Amino acid sequence: MSIHDRYRLSVVINAKGTYTPLGVSRSSDGVAEAVAQALPEFFVMDELGDRASEAIAQLTGAQAGAVVHCTAAGITLAVAATMTGGDPRRTAALPDATDMPNRVVLPACQVIDYGHSNLQGIRLSGAQVDLAGDENGCTAAELEDELDGPDVACLMLVSSRLTRGEPIDLVAAVRAAHRRGVPAIIDAAAQFPRIADVLATGADLVLVSGQKYLGSPTAGLVAGSWPLVQALRAQEKGIGRGMKPTKEAIVGVLAALEEWQAVDRVKWEADQLAKVEEFVAAASRIPDVIAETVQDPTGLQVSRVLLKVADAKRVATELEAGTPSIYVMTDRTAEGELMLELIPLDADEIATVLARLWAVLT
Ligand SMILES: *Cc1c(COP(=O)(O)O)cnc(C)c1O
């Protein structure tokens, strides 16, 4: 009996991307097996943390790495690391941040909502947020103005499709922080494949979600400078207690990192593009549908299917209401657009999506 039948759960075809309310991603059989091997075993958890640090450092070129519960936890803990600098007294005092640098500068156009606001993720540490610029953008002068304020603990930046307004020059922003001795953190949760590029901005800590494009169990991966990563890991004896990684998550991350390095990325990207282009050709045969291949806007080597249809909202609602329940990206239904990400889908699921599109649209 399938797990969906056993617990009376909807069968889902997820063409919505690495979306948390749908279970995010599919782990490979190899990762699932490593997790199953870990669950009945005991470990010295610090050793597991050290092996994860070595694996993340080796893959990214960073000095050190850490695994935490998820990226939302990573945001809180990375800020805490910059406020405490690893001082045990400060670590125990949080979220009371009296007598520590406790202000976090964040461009206002990078306030995002991934289920909650990243403002809350930052504030959970005890820090306060100073927004630079407005939701349409943040100039260098506006950023520097906030960085010149008192008690700045760090600069927080976001590399994501979810940001608004004019894109920020991340390299210039990190430099502006470093000129003032302020560390910079970049939340790049959905950009695991670009982690080395994001680190190349000079950021002190970079955060990515393992359960998104790495396909590990739910985990936040942190890569960055040795002292700040140690200060972040030290939070496990403080506010990070409830944000700790599980043993199965760390082992799953280790297995997923090994698999990632063994895969031929060029071939993988070509295969994924071929899958999208085949879908676009097939969807274009549906009357009154315009289908296109679009590239991820943030530089991720991921292509998606764009469908232009009349009444996009109704189409999405009917796809979700059927069995299996098909989810697509619906941020632009008002403009008559649906977007589909096909990476985790197999040939049968893709055939089902096309058949249902024919049924709903004709
Ligand atoms: C998904 C996401 C998060 C949250 O990541 P979790 O691992 O689910 O906590 C944070 N920031 C961005 C930009 C995201 O895309």
179 CA → ligand 1 middle, Å? 28
11 CA → ligand 1 middle, Å? 24
Task: Give the H or E element holding residue 327.
Answer: strand 325-328
Note the pLDDT of residue 251: 98
Which residue among 22, 109, 187 is best mutated to probe the pocket of ligand 1, counting the most ligand atoms within 8 A of its Cβ? 187
- Token reading at 130: 């100073």
- Residue 352 CB–ligand 1 contact under 6 Å: no
CA distance 47 to 62: 19
- Residue 298 CB–ligand 1 contact under 6 Å: no
- Residue 34 CB–ligand 1 contact under 6 Å: no
Note the pLDDT of residue 47: 98
- Token reading at 128: 């306060």
Which residue among 114, 168, 187 is best mutated to probe the pocket of ligand 1, counting the most ligand atoms within 8 A of its Cβ? 114
CA distance 66 to 204: 13
DSSP 160-176: STT--SSPP-HHHHHHH
Task: Give the H or E element holding residue 361.
Answer: helix 347-361
β-sheet bridge partners, residue 306: 292, 339
19 CA → ligand 1 middle, Å? 9
CA distance 201 to 52: 23
66, 45 in Cβ contact below 8 A?
A: no
Which residue among 18, 76, 205, 209 is best mutated to probe the pocket of ligand 1, counting the most ligand atoms within 8 A of its Cβ? 209
232 Cα distance to chain centroid: 18
- Residue 114 CB–ligand 1 contact under 6 Å: yes
Helix/strand/coil for 191? coil
72, 60 in Cβ contact below 8 A?
A: no
The full set of domains in the chain, from first to last, is: 3-24+264-361 (3.90.1150.180), 42-262 (3.40.640.10)
4 CA → ligand 1 middle, Å? 26
- Residue 248 CB–ligand 1 contact under 6 Å: no
297, 159 in Cβ contact below 8 A?
A: no
117 CA → ligand 1 middle, Å? 10
- Token reading at 22: 């749908």
pLDDT in tens, the chain (362 residues): 899 999 999 999 999 999 999 999 999 999 999 999 999 999 999 999 999 999 999 999 999 999 999 999 999 999 999 999 989 999 999 999 999 999 999 999 999 999 999 999 999 999 999 999 999 999 999 999 999 999 999 999 999 989 999 999 999 999 999 999 999 999 999 999 999 999 999 999 999 999 999 999 999 999 999 999 999 999 999 999 999 999 999 999 999 999 999 999 999 999 999 999 999 999 999 999 999 999 998 889 999 999 999 999 999 999 999 999 999 999 999 999 999 999 999 999 999 999 999 999 99
- Residue 187 CB–ligand 1 contact under 6 Å: yes
β-sheet bridge partners, residue 294: 304
- For the chain, how many residues are written? 362
- Residue 20 CB–ligand 1 contact under 6 Å: yes
98, 68 in Cβ contact below 8 A?
A: no
Residue with tokens 């909202």: 313
- Residue 27 CB–ligand 1 contact under 6 Å: no
